[in-house]
Amino acid sequence: MADDKRGRDKQAHDAEKRRQERALATEMERYDEAEPPVDADVLSDIERDLESVEFPAPGSEVVDAIGEREIPTDDGTYAVEALLPDTDEEVFASAAAVRVRIQRPTVAAAMKRIAETVGSIRELELAGSQRDGYERTFRELVDIDPIDENEGIPVVADWIVERIREDRELPGSRSVRRRAAEYCRANGYEVRNDEWLGV
């Protein structure tokens, strides 16, 4: 491949695609580690409903296809449109990627708010590694106390959205982790320095 801008862009795009595929494969492997709040049969039904969607597909197409579908969980019922961003900027590589996203509704709802806030500011883009960092921080909040997951995630998501609106830029992953750790420590949860949140 020639060493020109197009070649470098293609290499970067290919590398990003491979990274996303590895992340999806890892998440699918981790699917069985902890019981997700959404029943596996419901997730399988959603994947079948997405057979008419041509992937990769923007979030707006996915929401058009299954947005009104309801997902029962231990915490209540969620409409898919409340969990997935209704934007063209957020692209799903496959039906499995949609499944991974909605299997943890509290995390999905927080990421939807962030993605839609970013989408409202023209010069911002929620890129792969930054998005992954935010999502991992939310999953870590769930792991610290699965019972109180509804407490920390909205607090950190509100903080991220506020930073985006005020500063017109995305807070770094380290700043988000630091804010999550502050929340945890203030609420009596121990966060060791060798953990993801222990920046």
Look up the pTM and report it.
0.77
Q: What is the pLDDT of residue 10?
A: 82
pLDDT, tens digit, for every residue of 170-186? 999 999 999 999 998 89
Indicate the average pLDDT of the chain: 84
Q: What is the pLDDT of residue 9?
A: 80
Contact 124, 170 (CB under 8 A): yes
Backbone angles phi, psi at 182, to 5 degrees: -60, -45
Distances from the Cα of 44 to the Cα of 93, 154, 199, angstroms: 17, 28, 37
Distance between CA atoms of residues 180 and 197, nearest Å: 7
Question: Alpha helix (H) ranges present in the chain?
Answer: 5-30, 40-49, 59-66, 95-102, 105-119, 128-144, 149-167, 173-186
pLDDT, tens digit, for every residue of 16-58? 777 777 766 666 555 444 545 688 888 888 888 898 899 999 9
Distance between CA atoms of residues 144 and 150, nearest Å: 12
Q: What is the pLDDT of residue 115?
A: 92
Residue with the larger pLDDT of the pair 80 and 14? 80
Tokens of 6: 């197009």
Tokens of 178: 């630091």
Q: What is the pLDDT of residue 32?
A: 47
pLDDT, tens digit, for every residue of 92-146? 899 988 888 888 888 999 999 999 999 888 888 888 888 889 999 998 888 887 6
For the chain, give the percent of residues with pLDDT over 90.
33
Tell me which amino acid residue 83 is.
L
The string of DSSP letters for 66-79 reads HTT-EEEETTEEEE
Q: Once rounded to an integer, what is the mean pLDDT over residues 159-165? A: 96
